[in-house]
Amino acid sequence: MTRKLIAITACATGVAHTYMAEKALIKGAKKEGVLIKVETQGATGIGHRLTTRDVEIAEAVIFATDTKVRDSERFKGQLILQVNVSAPIKDAQKVIEDALKLADKK
């Protein structure tokens, strides 16, 4: 079965890194053969909001954030991998592999 992840990206200014991290995660996930949905929490608001259904489906959550995650109560009880927003920009595939490992451990 295809593996599924969700992620939140957010940076301090909320204009650049949030969206670069989003694109990086999607690109990385494609290479890894993983399905990912990424919610961006930027200066212009929340993009591609994750639904409770998405949270149920995903094996783990990646927080690629430099600021507080908005509405984080949605992810209570989920496996969360917390990294800096620049981590996926640097090496998204590694972040995704780490998230999958986290899910495997359980």
Partner 1 sequence: MKGLEVMTLKKIGKELEQHIMTGISYMIPIVIAGAVLMAISRVGASFYGISDIWESKWADSANLIIRFLNTDDGWGGMALDLMFPIISAYISYSISDKGGIAPGIIGGMLVANMNAGFLGALASGLIAGYTVKLLTDNIRLPQAAKSVLPVFIVPVVGTFITLFLIQYVIGVPFASINTGLAAWLKGLTGTNKVLLAAIVGGMVGFDLGGPVNKAAVTTAMALLTSGVYDPNTAAQVAIIIPPLGLGLATIINKRKFNHDLQEAGNASLVMGLIGVSEGAIPFAVESPLKVIPANVIGSAIGSALAVGLGAVNHAPISGFYGWLAVEKWWFYLIGVAVGTLIVTALTLLLRKEQPMEDKAIEEESDEGDYFTEDEWES
Partner 2 sequence: MTIKIVDPLLVRLNLNVSSREEVIEELAALYYEKGIVTNKQKYIAAVNQRESDGTTGIGDGIAIPHGKSSVVSKAAVAVASTANPIDWNALDDKPVKYIFLLAVPEKSDNTHLELLSELAGTLMDDDVREKLKKVTNVLDLEKIFESEVK
Spatial distance between the Cα atoms of 101 and 106, rounded to a whole number of angstroms: 9
| H or E segment to which residue 11 belongs | none
**49 touches partner 1 (CB under 8 A):** yes
Find the length of the chain. Answer: 106
Spatial distance between the Cα atoms of 79 and 59, rounded to a whole number of angstroms: 7
Nearest approach, Cβ of residue 71 and partner 2 (Å)? 19
Picking from 54, 59, 42, the residue whose alpha carbon sits closest to that of residue 4 is 59
> Is 11 marked active-site?
yes
**93 touches partner 2 (CB under 8 A):** no
Pick out residues in 4-43 that bind partner 1 (CB under 8 A). 4, 22-23, 26-27, 30, 35, 37-38
Residues in the site for partner 1, rule: CB under 8 A? 1-2, 4, 22-23, 26-27, 30, 35, 37-38, 46, 48-49, 54, 57, 70-71
- Catalytic residue set: 11
